[in-house]
Chains A and B, each alone.
Chain A
């Protein structure tokens, strides 16, 4: 019987991503001599490798093997945990993520980053084995120019058990002899005294000189089968003429220690350099140019778009248990009620009422428990930030401490997935624009190290995520002047602080004096705002100049349920999302203004709010057709207030959002439907959509009106 392995691939992918996350977070907290952490990183890498091997994802297996080898050396204490190694490992984690992602999306991953990091890993692994590494890097640099007979020095130090694995050095030497002229010297210094010698072990090592017109790969190939069981260094003898061909940056990299050194140059330059390198040098040359290697991790991750897939959730057993408990109670209540119904008379009304109350309680609890299944602690979204801050602080040279709070606050999975990118942008923003550079901080009497605090907590029916920094704060004047310059506001208007700060969320607004590649690239703050709004949330900015800023993101706990205000128009019931409602009022005739034609504006304190009768918009029969004395529900979306005219305000209740798209198509002005208590369907109004519709209609009727200007004038007066 054969088992279809492909059915396990999704779980492999999920476990791999979890493993990678674990590796990343452990690497960031890794300290010297912390064997437990290394062990857990190693285990994660090992299980990914094992899994990938089972499914035949060779790219992952091979790459992970390298990572594992490096980790293994650290674990055994053969290698010190250098910061540079951690950087390489972090990059490797990114690469593994790319590879695993490519499996998920069923594409082949041809990212050059993987090639780069692979080479880096190999270089690091070799470097660890031998002390004369200085030359190692030289040969790789020079190797590109090797076009004529070159002299290779090969140090071959086999492990003692090499011959037990069926490898015979003699074969290797024969193979080398096929490549060119060979002279071999054996080194017997390791040879123990005869008494101590195990006749089955190999104590010799060799240094080989090979003169041949070949490149390093061909030599490596010879040793392919024994590379795990020996220490191998391949060095090219210095030939002055070939070194002249090298350009300056490559010569600079002669120091092999640089290979390990993390160097996150600006990514834009990075890319250009890479292109140049591609043109001028074969791939191996690139591996010795550390400054070209490390691309910012976040940028790479961003290019991989999450695909819409069904997805799965891991649910804690306790949540499932509580569901089963509630189910049991529900069954008991149901049987009690049905027993009551068997021979019902009026004397049992009280028991019936009690039963119904119990049923209500059960359903409510059941609903909450079911919703809780979709809830995940926000640490899932926060997890990526330590790495981000780590990378950013390196790139900007600012010292930043990240404090995470309220990581256990739970949030709907869908919301969590969609809030990730806006949060990343806000954090980047805080690093880039918020935290000042070290010298400025010291000059202002602040601690050298900047602090960014990510905090999440529940407030009412929503979750609040705070991103605060102790940086320079927002310069009110600069923002205000910029806004006037851009024509967003009028210079004469007086705005409150928070209104001014909100301006930075406007499209086309950037106060950064110069764009850096960290923020101010691609997504702007307006996109952040839009994303948050599309989730039914809002963003709030608080800032004190010189002390820092706080961005507060308010989000609904879930997208599946919303608090709605039921309104009636004619015979239809519609639901207005409560979060959009500013207030509801009865229109007073003295505050009603007719602007032009049928455009009615209601004066609401210092605002003029356009009135939109729903019956007109949806072509319904309604009871109230006059604005005077009618009920207005003032709603707000995208900073635009509008008064919806309705016949009646009904109850407020939580409604479960049902999609219309599933079996039908999107309807203009409607964001979804829900089922009311009596089983009938009610539409949920799409407030931003309605505002858009109203604007389109106004435009249409305006065009229509200009044709009949005289007529419309008569109407208005």
Chain B
């Protein structure tokens, strides 16, 4: 029983990704974002979520994909660490949400170690559903400030 875990999947550039559903606080439509000065373009800015200021990261740009104009399907998934001691909340912008799946831990395969367009540290494993490959993301690293905001190819929006 405990071997099973539920995942929320979402689409980025036609590829389906999954995150541990226990880390998902809520899903929101994109609202207006207040930009932060002198920050890389994948950091969209901050929003006010019921009195708490949370940063918004465009996962497309963070993963080095071409930015897509936000449309009706674009949503923000609010992720929250399960660690109560040091809660951290971040919103990620994705193309669209897809499904909630229940996976057995055994069915999760290790990610192959080859040139991936996604930083490998975020990938927890791969899982096969109806001949569709879903990349499961490691929420621990995704919610780790050092990892999430450490984007080597990030180009600052412009130079002074």
Question: Which A residues have a C-beta under 8 Å from some C-beta of B?
Answer: 572, 616-620, 658-660, 662-665, 667-670, 673, 675, 679-683, 697, 700
Chain B minimum-CB-distance residue to A672: B53
Check if A669 sits within 8 Å of B53, measured CB to CB.
no
Report if B134 contacts A (CB, 8 A): no
Nearest CB in chain A: distance from B156 CB, A? 8
* A to B CB contacts below 8 Å, 9 in the list: A572-B35, A616-B160, A660-B53, A673-B46, A680-B32, A680-B48, A681-B46, A683-B34, A700-B160
Within 8 A of A (CB), among B118-160: 145, 149, 157-158, 160
Check if B48 sits within 8 Å of A667, measured CB to CB.
no
B-side contacts of A668, CB under 8 Å: 37-38
Nearest CB in chain B: distance from A613 CB, A? 11
Report if B94 contacts A (CB, 8 A): no
Within 8 A of A (CB), among B12-67: 32, 34-39, 45-48, 51-55
Check if A665 sits within 8 Å of B35, measured CB to CB.
no
Check if A662 sits within 8 Å of B34, measured CB to CB.
no
Q: Which one, B39, B53, B89, B90, contacts A681 given CB within 8 A?
A: B53
B-side contacts of A665, CB under 8 Å: 145, 149
Check if B39 sits within 8 Å of A667, measured CB to CB.
yes
Chain B minimum-CB-distance residue to A681: B34
The 5 closest A-B pairs by CB, nearest first: A618-B37, A681-B34, A664-B55, A675-B48, A658-B53
A-side contacts of B37, CB under 8 Å: 617-620, 667-670, 683
Interface residues on B, range: 20 to 34
B-side contacts of A616, CB under 8 Å: 160
Check if B160 sits within 8 Å of A619, measured CB to CB.
yes
Nearest CB in chain B: distance from A673 CB, A? 5
Report if B88 contacts A (CB, 8 A): yes
B-side contacts of A667, CB under 8 Å: 36-39
Nearest CB in chain B: distance from A697 CB, A? 6
Given known contacts A675-B51, A680-B48, A681-B47, A663 and B34 CB-to-CB distance under 8 angstroms = no
Nearest CB in chain A: distance from B35 CB, A? 7
Nearest CB in chain A: distance from B56 CB, A? 10
Chain B minimum-CB-distance residue to A669: B37
Check if A663 sits within 8 Å of B52, measured CB to CB.
yes
Q: How far is the CA of A669 from the CA of B160 in the complex (A)?
A: 14
Nearest CB in chain B: distance from A662 CB, A? 7
B-side contacts of A683, CB under 8 Å: 34, 36-37
B-side contacts of A658, CB under 8 Å: 51-53
Q: How far is the CA of A417 from the CA of B37 in the complex (A)?
A: 32
Nearest CB in chain B: distance from A659 CB, A? 7
Check if B52 sits within 8 Å of A681, measured CB to CB.
no
Chain B minimum-CB-distance residue to A619: B158
A-side contacts of B34, CB under 8 Å: 572, 673, 680-683
Chain A minimum-CB-distance residue to B32: A680
A-side contacts of B55, CB under 8 Å: 663-664
Q: How far is the CA of A68 from the CA of B92 in the complex (A)?
A: 62
Check if B38 sits within 8 Å of A619, measured CB to CB.
yes
A-side contacts of B36, CB under 8 Å: 667, 670, 683
A-side contacts of B88, CB under 8 Å: 663
Chain A minimum-CB-distance residue to B46: A681
A-side contacts of B48, CB under 8 Å: 675, 679-681
Q: How far is the CA of A34 from the CA of B40 in the complex (A)?
A: 70
